Structure 1
Amino acid sequence: MSGHGYGCTYVLSNYVLNKEKRVTRGRDRGWVGQVAAACLAAMCAVAALPGQAWAAGEPHPYEFDSAVKPVEGAAVNSAGPTLNAGSAYKDSIKPGEKRYYRVNLDAETHAYISAVAVPGLDAKLAYADELEVTIEDRSGSRCGNDDARFGSGAYSRPVAAYADRTIDENSRTCQEAGPYFVLLERSGPDTSSQDPWDVEIRFASEPGLTQSAPTAAPENWPSASPAPPAGSPEKRHGGTSFNDATSIEQGEWQDEIAPGQTLFYRVPVDWGQQIFASADLGTSTVSRAPDGRGSGSNAMQLTLHNPARGYVGDGSSVYYDGKQESTALDPLPPVAYENRYGSGDAVEAMRFAGWYYLSVSLNPKVAEGFGEAALLLTLRVNIEGRAKGAPAYAGPAGDFEVTQDDRDAAGSGKSAPEAAKSDTMELVAAAGIGAGTVLVLGLGVWTLVARRRAAAGAADAAAGADAVMPGPGQYGPPPAR
């Protein structure tokens, strides 16, 4: 039961149970009125919960991790604040700025530091705007780095990348236990918006292995796109970020996307499985502006990130003129531990099982030609191949596995993180039950109060009648008491 519902129920029940000596009849009305007002307020709060959504068609802000911790990176590495594995952090970064953080790593665990750049909704961006993330050892050697780019789709939307420190017995750098440094660096032209970008930083760790694994990525794997998934399309509305991404599985999914909006979905992909995905942008009911305004090229972006939020790949740019358009991810290899030793970012990124994230962004310039109304979005997802056993991890795989709960979530459409979403839904449901309970108890209390008042009134009347009962021949009003 919700806090409000439980509180009202508790107060009402205590009112019933309290002895009459605690509350005189003269205070009943005010006290019960306060209870009723509090319960009404609680029920209004319950009713308001579902109404906190953003207006339809309005671009959603990025939903940061519910447990995100504020942090401020330093200008020099030795002064950077420490980031802990399994935690998420929020910072901001200005153009040309460097932000340093510290991580303490052992000599057995792989580390992944992801950074999600979140410019303001109205930020002006260019092809060269990017956020680079790097892990360095104490000697200043780079362990791994990547950059989150806006590229040809130069409009405001969340973009992400990660840097990794991988344990490799054949490497001589970045293998020791001790302090390492994470560097975020923002670059871009002076013509772009100079406002700070919010940044979500996440530190994920992958356990080492108890036995050796292959060190050569597969060279041959199925690359032919499968037939579209069978069955009728189902409705699923995407989230606003990695953190509230909507779970989907193999199938055809329909949604609506407004200009300037980015929608997130997550798909469980197990060891040995391949993911194929495409996105269709539906026709517009509005004719294009007479002067030709509106985004023709780079209208829609389909992007895939792996469980550590590392960039995997994206679909080709979509030219939109109001007619149906489609884009698809390039074929990707099956998930395999040894992909990390492959050539090419896309192959290396398919290195572990877990939730893979699909995001779809619609260029805000589409509104200039076709209005602010949301367009129909269709996602088609295929998961090919049988799931295989996990590598011999030395500890819990954490984010890098697919559990039965994950499969159940994908089938039901639970958003990430599962626990938070489930708790929220349980809270709303329990609050509804609590509100109903409050109403029933409230009616019971009012009935009981009314009966007590009636009984008390009758008793007073009887007592008064005995005290002033006129005698023989005595009539008229009773004497003053």
Structure 2
Amino acid sequence: MRGRGRRTRWRRGDGRPTGAAARAGAVAAALCAAAALPGGFTATAGTRDAYAFDPAGRSVTGATGTAGAPRLEPGRAYRDSLPVRGSLTYRFDLTAAESAYAPVTAVPPAGTTGNATDGIRVSLEDARGTRCSTASALFGAGLSARPVTALGQRQTGRSLCQGAGAYYLRVERLSAGGSASGTASPAPRWDLEIAPVTEPGLAAAGPTTAPPAQDSASPGPLAGSPQERTGGAGFTTARPLGQGVWWTGITPGSTLFYKVPVDWGRRMHAVAELDAATSGHGYVGGALNLSLYSPVRGYVDGASLGYTGTRRTAALDPLPPVEYANRYAVLTGENAVRFAGDYYLVLHLSEKTADTFGTGPFHVTLRVRVDGQAHDGPRYAGRPEPGDVFTVTERDRRAAASGETGGGGVAMKALAAGGIGTGTALLLVLGGWIVAARRAQTRLSAQKPTA
């Protein structure tokens, strides 16, 4: 989700930089990420790097209840950290005409031990305490800690949670025994990314039933020689991907993010193939996990595979074309493909794979098909937040074919405008950062009282 670029300030005392240091760090990180892009840069196989949070994300502290819950604005990204016990609550102020989506991504720290039922639960309720939605995201059969995303949502036109006013998002940890609030031993906090979206109502009355059922047969796999396409480390840095056959290297414990632009009237299908191992023998359950998320980061479908060291395939279920009226479908996957935009493919290779088949990297092939006849979308009565979330442009299509990031953000625009190399730009940024830090230290020294 694209942020608006406002200045980021982190909470004091949590080890994160503030002010200019944070901005310099974000730019430096973006420049480092740029080194992995195609078009003259060198790409490396997927490793277990830290999750790439939105650099424009704002720090926020969730409340333990509705009293004092901080207000979140749609179209922005927010960061917080989730304790092992209890829950965090946030507030949204919504009009009667707009639907709201609040995806929450929880990122366990490196070294976290994963159980199948560990994860998060996200719920949204109105000011009277009526539950609008509940969703959970778990590590699953791979027994491997990874970023997990669950969506809280409020949809207009339903019998519950209608009208303008305050709505509350609640996030809590889950453990093997249920809610983590009942555990006895302490555990590290999990970082959170929250990226709320609003969708306006229609300018004129639209359909109120799901479209007729489509052909449910799985499309045939795409053939052809795969092209290398390394994934990103988060939703914000997801690598563009279009129809075709792609491959990447991935190491145990790592998670890769891709985004596929899908317009109104079109549908996508994806298959992931984990190649044969070069060493070891045995079995790893849920070794490779393939998940699909909507433009609002809502879960659409997923598949995982057990691995014995021989080539295995995981395929998503067939999905209908993207249509506004899909929101009235009963099945979760069909209901989720309700708007055009970037659909996210997320790959995770279980840490357990390393114990049996080595540290890799392992070769994964992605076969992505996008078909159907594109058409104009619904006419909204207002503007969604962020404004481009339900839009597919020609630039998006070109980026999906080439793997370029499309806009590239502040750092890439600076590179393009200045005509300088990544290494030179990175040295300039780091040099400026060092100078700023030295000046700050000089000011502090000058302020110290003399003996």
TM-score range, shorter chain: 0.7 to 0.9
**Cα displacement string for residues 87-107 of structure 1 (whole angstroms, at most 9, x for unaligned residues):** 111111122321011111111
Q: Distance in 2 between matches of 1:261 and 1:48?
A: 16
Determine which of 337, 350, 354 is the counterpart of 1:363.
Answer: 350
User: Are residue 254 (structure 1) and residue 242 (structure 2) matched?
Assistant: no
Change in Cα spacing, 1:418 to 1:49, as seen in structure 2 (3 Å) is: closer
The 8 Å contact of residues 109 and 166 in structure 1, kept in 2 or not, is answered as yes
SS at match of 1:275: strand
Aligned counterpart in structure 1 of residue 389 of structure 2, from 396, 399, 419: 399
The aligned residue for residue 12 of structure 2 is none
Q: Which has the higher helix share?
A: 1
Quick one: distance in 1 between partners of 2:120 and 2:143?
Answer: 14
The residue matched to 1:319 in structure 2 has which SS? strand
Aligned CA distance change for structure 1 residues 342 and 433 (closer, same or farther; 3 Å)? closer
In the TM superposition, residue 192 of structure 1 has moved relative to its aligned partner by 8.9
1:218 deviation in Å? Answer: 2.2
Of residues 328, 352, 361 in structure 2, which corresponds to 1:374? Answer: 361
- In the alignment, what sits opposite 2:265? 272
CA distance in 2, matches of 1:425, 1:118: 31
1:153 aligns with 2:142: yes
Kept after mapping to 1: 8 A contact 2:81/2:191: yes
Give the match for residue 224 of structure 1.
217
Tell me which amino acid in the other structure corresponds to 1:408: R
In structure 1, stretches of 5+ residues that fail to align are 1-45, 439-481
Pick the aligned partner of 1:208 from 201, 213, 218.
201
Q: How many residues align?
A: 383
User: Which range moves more in the overlay, 174-183 or 270-279?
Assistant: 174-183
Q: 1:286 aligns with which of 279, 290, 313?
A: 279
1:133 equivalent in alignment to 2:126:
no
Percent identity between the two aligned chains: 40
Matched, 1:197 2:182: no
Q: CA deviation digits over 1:261-303, x for unaligned, max 9?
A: 1111000111111111000011122233xxx4xx521110000
Between the aligned partners of 2:48 and 2:414, the Cα distance in structure 1 is 23
In 2, distance between residues paired with 1:278 and 1:212?
37
Task: Work out which of the residue numbers 100, 113, 124 in structure 1 matches 2:102.
Answer: 113
- The amino acid across from 2:149 in the alignment is A
- Alignment equivalent of 2:322, drawn from 335, 350, 354: 335
CA distance in 1, matches of 2:423, 2:273: 41
Give the 3-state SS of the residue equivalent to 2:285 in structure 1. Answer: coil
Alpha-carbon shift at residue 417 of structure 1 (Å) = 6.9
| 8 Å contact from structure 2 (residues 295, 390) kept in 1 | yes
Aligned partner letter, 1:377: V
Q: Deviations over 1:113-172 (max 9, x none)?
A: 01001111211122222211111111000122211222223211111111111111x52x
Which has the greater radius of gyration? 1
SS in 2 for 1:347: helix
Residues of 1 paired with 2:396 and 2:33: CA distance? 30
**Within 2, Cα distance between the matches of 1:47 and 1:116?**
23
Aligned partner of 2:151: which letter?
Answer: Y
Contact map agreement 1:75 1:98 (CA 8 A) in 2: yes
Change (3 A) 1:346 1:74: same
Equivalent residue in structure 1 for 2:89, among 100, 120, 130: 100
| C-alpha separation in 2, matches of 1:395 and 1:311 | 25
- Which secondary structure state, in structure 2, belongs to the residue aligned with residue 407 of structure 1? helix
Tell me if 1:304 matches 2:292: yes
Give 2:371's aligned residue: 384
Pair 48,299 (structure 1): closer, same or farther in 2 beyond 3 Å: closer
Letter in 2 for 1:214: P
The CA deviation at 1:411 is: 1.6
In the alignment, is residue 263 of structure 1 matched against residue 263 of structure 2?
no
Please provide the CA RMSD for this pair.
2.7
**Equivalence for 1:165:** 154
| TM-score, normalisation: structure 1 | 0.74
Mark the runs of 5 or more structure 2 residues left unpaired by the alignment. 1-30, 178-182, 429-451
Conserved? CA contact 2:60–2:80, under 8 Å: yes
The one-character-per-residue Cα deviations of 1:329-362 (angstroms, maximum 9, x if unpaired) are 0111111111111102111111111000001100
Contact 1:244 1:417 in 2 (8 A): no
Match of 1:410 among 385, 390, 400: 400
DSSP 3-state at the match of 2:124: strand
